[in-house]
Structure 1
Amino acid sequence: MSGDLLQRLSTFIPNVKHLQLSDIVVPSFPLPRSTVSSSQVPVLFREPYILTGYRPVRQKWQCYLLSLFQKHNESLNVWTHLLAVPVLLLLWWANVSTLGYTLDVASLPLLLFLASSLTYLFLSVAAHLFQSHSEQAHYFFFFMDYVGVAVYQYGCCIGHYFYTSEPAWRDSFLGSVFLPGAAFFAWLTCACCCFAKSRFQRPYPLGRKVCQLIPTSLAYLLDVSPVVHRLVTASWAEDPSLPFHALQVASFLLCAVFFSCPIPERFFPGRCDFVGQGHQIFHLFLSLCTLFQLEALFRDYIRRRDTVEEIFGERQLWWASVSFPVLLFFCLLTALVTMKHKHKHLQGQKEKK
């Protein structure tokens, strides 16, 4: 059958007899090249103490997409957040099935938390999967990753404010400035991370890490304040969400350690190239933190869904929901403006060469 088909096609297409039927039925894709050492990629793409497992730059986009199934030094950075997506959705569905969920104005903060979590997970996956394509792609995708971080920060804040906070905390100064302060610090985190990424060159100085960590730390101290207040003042025996809140705080603190310090690869250069990097461990604990947050917020929502609208009012719930896409817009604008300036800088460097 296939021989007859090729014989008929040969009258229209030269050299068709040299083709296999699989070449016609199955499209061909460029396969990822084998990985290379750090000396074979530009300095921008090199990570401290990671000596091998780099993907060559300037391949076709399909190569980086297909590298999802290839062993390289970004593989676990991609999969730790990619696998967190179905786990998060399954946990959401399990809670909806067992605890119940009603789509109304009182449930909007929980829905926004889910949207913010999926946003940062997908943008993180895209950054680690495609950043090796070129210098422009590297900066663009990591700027988008910072947008995801900011959105996730604010999504957590909205959930903590409406479901976790206690009256005594809401009557405090922190409670009165919490949502606008959280939105500002989320944007500031995105802006400072974009600036630090654009401004400092490898090998990165300490100033870059400081520029990233100061706004992120301030944002987290504000974001977690209603949770800490609840952990200190509420009865653990009567509140089933508190163990999950404690786990999310512990997970995030471990995230901060592994994000700030290149451990354990610092002590074993070249031995953590594929498995065991600090950034991979950071991703793992951040995924766990998100799962613990979802479980805690779902339990808080179930306990308070009948009183949320009465306590906060429908208008405040809607304003908080509207502020979410507004923050997303300003973070995207910040990232794109920074990318525009960085693109001009890269073009200027090329012209000088």
Structure 2
Amino acid sequence: MATIVMERIGRVFISLQQIRQVPQMLTEATPSMPDTVRDSEVPHYFRERYVCSGYRKLDQNWRYYFLSLFQRHNETVNIWTHLLACLVFLAKLNKLSETVDFAGDAHSWPLLVLIVSSFIYSAFSATAHLLGGKSVLCNYCFFFLDYVGVAQYQYGSAVVHFYYAVDESLYRQVKGLFMPTATLLSCLSCLGCCFGKYANHRLPTWVRKVCQVVPSALAYIWDSSPVAMRLLSWSSTDSTIVSHFGQVAFFISCAFFFTFPLPECCFPGRCDFLGHSHQIFHLLLSCCTLCQIHASHLDYVDRRKLYARLHESGEPALFVALYAVTLVVCSLIAVVMMKKVKRVIDFKAKSK
């Protein structure tokens, strides 16, 4: 009997020893990451103002950058904020599909465009921050992809605002002009962002910011004009007004943090991993998008009599087609700018 007891105790001891070895086994199974480096050790294309450390090394294999998703560096939070936003937007789409007939109700297509464009911009952004550190060429390529995502999301914002949030007087004034202009401004926004990125090696930082911010600001002002009219003519019976106010407040806040490097300019090197402005921008933009989706869904439900009367039967399909045009044109802009970048990189390589 004593022998049996001792054997069982021995087995338990061995099991505990094996459990204690699990963390070490996992550590050994996961390839070690090279140490991150300081800003002085990467090309200036990769440097962010007042972010002094946590940069990943260049020219590693692809596995290194994919695994960096689970490592600590100055892009970790940027990646996860929009990666989690992707999942939230998918969950939101799944939840709305329980009550909204996206396939059979043409009036729901603008809402679907918004959610799809929200998923795309967050997915493209997460990809850019994850893989853009591999090389100079990859940095341009993936961030151009990011700008395509932002531009097509601008169109997604415009279509729901014009379709669901617009009042009758504004609709009559801009009926045939609003969405083509939104398409044009989205494409100009993509071009401005791509050019700002392309020229950032020979132009001051503020010039790059102007190229990126001004076209996007014009697009936002135009795209959000129906919401602005709603806010100006506020009514206590408008159940959606709080959500619309929320999306505007979040957007203005995230535009501020995109433009100004706060708080890292006050604490250089102390916000490298957590707390710098681009991370705050990501969080605020995701909150803005969630408010926008919520507000658009409420308008879709509550204002059906109005928008069903204003919009012609073929307009939802036309707006979906314009979304496809926007996505294609912005992609072509990114491809053209990418070719220009590659020529510059090849020329520099040959001249060495």
Structure 2 length-normalised TM: 0.88
Contact 1:50 1:270 in 2 (8 A): yes
Once the two structures are superposed, the pairs formed by residues 113-128 of structure 1 within 5 Å of their partners are 113-128=114-129
Contact 1:158 1:320 in 2 (8 A): yes
Shift of 1:156: 0.6
CA deviation profile, 1:7-42 (whole Å, cap 9, x unmatched): xxxxxxxxxxxxxxxxxxxx9775432211112212
Moved more, 271-280 or 195-204: 195-204
Q: Does 1:316 align with 2:327?
A: no
Question: In the aligned structure 1, how far is the partner of 2:148 from the partner of 2:293?
Answer: 20
Contact 1:43 1:202 in 2 (8 A): no
In structure 1, list runs of 5 or more residues that go unmatched: 1-26
Contact 1:105 1:309 in 2 (8 A): no
AA matched with 2:66 = L
Q: CA RMSD in A?
A: 1.7
Once the two structures are superposed, the pairs formed by residues 16-95 of structure 1 within 5 Å of their partners are 30-95=31-96
Identity %: 42
Shift of 1:234: 3.9
Question: In the aligned structure 1, how far is the partner of 2:229 from the partner of 2:200?
Answer: 38
CA deviation profile, 1:83-124 (whole Å, cap 9, x unmatched): 112222333344444xx2122211110100011001100000
Contact 2:168 2:310 in 1 (8 A): no
CA deviation profile, 1:186-235 (whole Å, cap 9, x unmatched): 00000111111112217843211111111111111101100010112141
Question: In the aligned structure 2, how far is the partner of 1:65 from the partner of 1:192?
Answer: 29
Distance 1:340 1:184, change over 3 A: same
Contact 2:45 2:200 in 1 (8 A): no
Question: In the aligned structure 1, how far is the partner of 2:203 from the partner of 2:183?
Answer: 32
Distance 1:203 1:61, change over 3 A: farther
Question: In the aligned structure 1, how far is the partner of 2:93 from the partner of 2:241?
Answer: 18
Contact 1:30 1:60 in 2 (8 A): no
- Report the counterpart of residue 24 of structure 1 in structure 2: none
Question: In the aligned structure 1, how far is the partner of 2:92 from the partner of 2:303?
Answer: 20
- Report the counterpart of residue 13 of structure 1 in structure 2: none
Q: Does 1:262 align with 2:261?
A: yes
Question: In the aligned structure 1, how far is the partner of 2:137 from the partner of 2:91?
Answer: 36
Moved more, 201-210 or 342-351: 201-210
Contact 1:31 1:66 in 2 (8 A): no
- Report the counterpart of residue 229 of structure 2 in structure 1: 229
Shift of 1:304: 3.1
- Report the counterpart of residue 217 of structure 2 in structure 1: 217
Question: In the aligned structure 1, how far is the partner of 2:205 from the partner of 2:285?
Answer: 25
Once the two structures are superposed, the pairs formed by residues 5-16 of structure 1 within 5 Å of their partners are none
Tell me, what secondary structure is at the counterpart of 2:255? Answer: helix
- Report the counterpart of residue 331 of structure 1 in structure 2: 330
Tell me, what secondary structure is at the counterpart of 1:132? Answer: coil
Tell me, what secondary structure is at the counterpart of 1:168? Answer: helix
CA deviation profile, 1:283-313 (whole Å, cap 9, x unmatched): 0000000000010000001123455444211
- Report the counterpart of residue 141 of structure 1 in structure 2: 142
In structure 2, list runs of 5 or more residues that go unmatched: 1-27
AA matched with 2:189 = T
CA deviation profile, 1:214-270 (whole Å, cap 9, x unmatched): 1111111101100010112141x2122110000000000001100001111011000
Contact 1:30 1:62 in 2 (8 A): no
Once the two structures are superposed, the pairs formed by residues 155-174 of structure 1 within 5 Å of their partners are 155-172=156-173, 174=174
Distance 1:319 1:257, change over 3 A: same
| Number of residue pairs the alignment of both structures matches | 323
Question: In the aligned structure 1, how far is the partner of 2:39 from the partner of 2:203?
Answer: 13
Question: In the aligned structure 2, how far is the partner of 1:203 from the partner of 1:65?
Answer: 32
Question: In the aligned structure 1, how far is the partner of 2:307 from the partner of 2:101?
Answer: 13
- Report the counterpart of residue 18 of structure 2 in structure 1: none
